[in-house]
Copies of this chain bind each other. A is one copy, B any other.
Amino acid sequence: MPITPHVEKHFLASATVRDIVIGMADGLTVPFALAAGISGAVAANPKATGIVVTAGLAEIAAGSIAMGLGGYLAARTDFEHYSSERQREVRETLELPDQEEEEVAKVFRDYGLENEQIAPVVAAICADQNRWVDFMMRFELGLESPDPLRARRSALTIAASYIFGGLIPLAPYMVLPSVLNGLWFSVGITLIALLVFGYVKGHFTGIRPFRGGLQTVLTGGLAAAAAFFIARLIS
């Protein structure tokens, strides 16, 4: 893969940062919104706090496993997809070498090169089968070789971030005796956590941090408001 010295100037979020963002974004939002939604509906129930905490922890368990395994399977699928496409390209360079050479030439023709300029370039690339296949994978299909170890790491990072994010909005319901006190403290600390998370995420993904903070607060707020009104409506 061609790497140039100044490539670091461009921001490209690492896979781990992306996994943390995926897990935390939903972990902070969905358990928060669910707990807020239910607490409005069951406030009159004597076991209200217990129901909210039970539902919240069940959601964290379900959400972290579903998202973690989802991340695992997505990374495995990427890896298998890359491998099978690569095998197909290897086969094609053996079975249809003329057609594959023409495809290499086509890439350069699209960049405005003349046939006389293209011929030596194509010959050099196709002289080595590995290099030829690498070229086709990257330039024809736009696929980069994925890291085979990523699946497990990705799953654990997403799940842990979801659990960490989800316990923040749930903590007040666990320590405060009244479900309505729990609700207000949960709203307070979760909005702060969403703001901080969005700010940091904005920094990492290259959008303006304050805008990033506002976006995550709005997402969490809208999700919680919708859950709250739906739960109110039907109970």
Q: Would you call A4 an interface residue if the criterion is a C-beta within 8 Å of the partner chain's C-beta atoms?
A: yes
The answer, among B10, B41, B224, for a CB contact under 8 Å with A141, is: B10
Taking a contact as CB atoms under 8 Å apart, the answer to whether B112 and A219 are in contact is: no
Q: Would you call A37 an interface residue if the criterion is a C-beta within 8 Å of the partner chain's C-beta atoms?
A: yes
Q: Would you call A73 an interface residue if the criterion is a C-beta within 8 Å of the partner chain's C-beta atoms?
A: yes
Taking a contact as CB atoms under 8 Å apart, the answer to whether A231 and B54 are in contact is: yes
**Chain B residues near A99 (CB-CB < 8 A):** 6
Within 8 A of B (CB), among A188-235: 205-207, 215, 218-220, 222-224, 226-228, 230-231, 234-235
- Other 16 A-B pairs with CB < 8 A, given A4-B140, A37-B54, A111-B124: A10-B141, A12-B141, A33-B58, A33-B66, A34-B58, A38-B51, A41-B54, A41-B58, A57-B230, A65-B219, A69-B222, A77-B205, A108-B121, A112-B124, A117-B121, A121-B121
Taking a contact as CB atoms under 8 Å apart, the answer to whether A30 and B66 are in contact is: yes
- Give the complex CA separation of A85 and B120 in angstroms: 32
Q: Would you call A98 an interface residue if the criterion is a C-beta within 8 Å of the partner chain's C-beta atoms?
A: no
Within 8 A of B (CB), among A104-129: 106-108, 110-114, 117, 120-121, 124-125, 127-128
Q: Please encode chain A, from 19 to 44, with 1 for each CB lying within 8 Å of some chain B CB and 0 for all others.
A: 00000011001100110011001100
- Give the complex CA separation of A144 and B26 in angstroms: 27
Taking a contact as CB atoms under 8 Å apart, the answer to whether A224 and B135 are in contact is: no
A44 to chain B, nearest CB (A): 10
- Give the complex CA separation of A37 and B218 in angstroms: 29
Q: Would you call A84 an interface residue if the criterion is a C-beta within 8 Å of the partner chain's C-beta atoms?
A: yes
Taking a contact as CB atoms under 8 Å apart, the answer to whether A111 and B84 are in contact is: no
Bin the interface of chain A by size: 35 or more
**Chain B residues near A138 (CB-CB < 8 A):** 139, 142
Q: Would you call A90 an interface residue if the criterion is a C-beta within 8 Å of the partner chain's C-beta atoms?
A: no
- Give the complex CA separation of A159 and B212 in angstroms: 21
**Chain B residues near A227 (CB-CB < 8 A):** 58-59, 61-62
- Give the complex CA separation of A6 and B100 in angstroms: 10
